[in-house]
Amino acid sequence: MKTVTLTPEEVAFVRALVIHEDAEVLALNKPPGLSSQGGRIAVHTLDELLFAFAKSSGVRPRLVHRLDRDTSGVILTARSQPAAAFLGKAMMSRRVKKTYLAIVAPGAPDPREGGVEAPLRRESQGREAYVKVCEADHPDAQAASTRYRTLAANDTAALVELAPRTGRMHQLRVHMASLGRPIAGDPRYGGALVLGGAPVPRLMLHAAALTFPHPAGGERRIEAPVPPDMAALLDTLGLAAPSRWMAPA
């Protein structure tokens, strides 16, 4: 069994990310810049940092899903194999509901609320993987569905709420780009790198909430506050973040 030795600073760092824990699950608020798994840089991934919560047997929480490195927000882990299997099946049967916040530009999508039903396919260019909208009859097509609604907007940018109904790679990024409103800070899919005269620090995509059936019964909703870099850009743009997702003052 692989083990990872963490420094006291790393242990303190990952423990500070916890936003919910019980006997079955552990949820964290992943910061931007931290890879969920398989990072190429010589720092520990979130998956490795989970050794901070390992039992004496060496068993640690398991990631149930992943977020892109520059995406922040709620990420769920299971504390046992039965919990991991239960949540994995819930993911596969689309019983887990994800809600994201994103800053897109220029301005609000048209219409301001709606859905994107656009099949996607992966394409590799060297070591990089890209995703493109494609025809439904393409041999590599994967069905993809996203609901969106505009929360705040001006001529420069908009804050949108995104609810993916499928979990394809880069789905939200490509679907918003297909509407002519790519997510800010996403050069791969045409996102603006400067908005309102301010540099966009990273991909402006945040996993704000996760609603899921709990292994012990019932349903649980976990929310993560809007991170400081996203809140600062919204303030610069004169767009108000929903109070329910704002960190306490």
What pTM value is reported for the model? 0.93
Q: Tokens representing 111?
A: 């219409």
Is a pLDDT exceeding 80 seen at residue 43?
A: no
Choosing from 22, 47, 68, 110, which is the catalytic residue?
68
What pLDDT score does 124 carry? 85
Mean local confidence (pLDDT), 119-124: 93
Under the banding of pLDDT at 50, 70 and 90, the label for residue 209 is very high
List strand residue ranges (DSSP E) for 31-96, in order: 62-63, 72-78
Interatomic CA distance for residues 163 and 149, integer angstroms: 9
Under the banding of pLDDT at 50, 70 and 90, the label for residue 102 is very high
The count of domains in the chain is: 1
What pLDDT score does 227 carry? 94
pLDDT digits 0-9 by tens, 229-239? 999 999 999 99
Domain that holds residue 171: 8-245
Asked if residue 166 is part of any domain, the answer here is yes
What pLDDT score does 140 carry? 94
Is a pLDDT exceeding 90 seen at residue 72?
A: yes
When the pLDDT of each residue in the chain is averaged and rounded to a whole number, the result is 93
What pLDDT score does 249 carry? 56
What pLDDT score does 8 carry? 94
Closest CA to 4 of 75, 60, 65: 60
Asked if residue 2 is part of any domain, the answer here is no
Mean local confidence (pLDDT), 11-39: 93
Under the banding of pLDDT at 50, 70 and 90, the label for residue 55 is confident
Is a pLDDT exceeding 70 seen at residue 23?
A: yes
186 is catalytic: no
Is a pLDDT exceeding 60 seen at residue 41?
A: no
Asked if residue 231 is part of any domain, the answer here is yes
Asked if residue 151 is part of any domain, the answer here is yes
Asked if residue 1 is part of any domain, the answer here is no
Is a pLDDT exceeding 90 seen at residue 52?
A: yes
Mean local confidence (pLDDT), 211-222: 96
Any idea what DSSP says for residue 242? Answer: P
For residue 45, the domain's CATH number is 3.30.2350.10
Interatomic CA distance for residues 67 and 147, integer angstroms: 19
Asked if residue 39 is part of any domain, the answer here is yes
Is a pLDDT exceeding 90 seen at residue 96?
A: yes
Asked if residue 3 is part of any domain, the answer here is no
Is a pLDDT exceeding 70 seen at residue 248?
A: no
Closest CA to 28 of 224, 242, 244, 243: 224
Asked if residue 25 is part of any domain, the answer here is yes
Is a pLDDT exceeding 80 seen at residue 38?
A: no
pLDDT digits 0-9 by tens, 135-149? 999 999 999 999 999
Is a pLDDT exceeding 70 seen at residue 42?
A: no
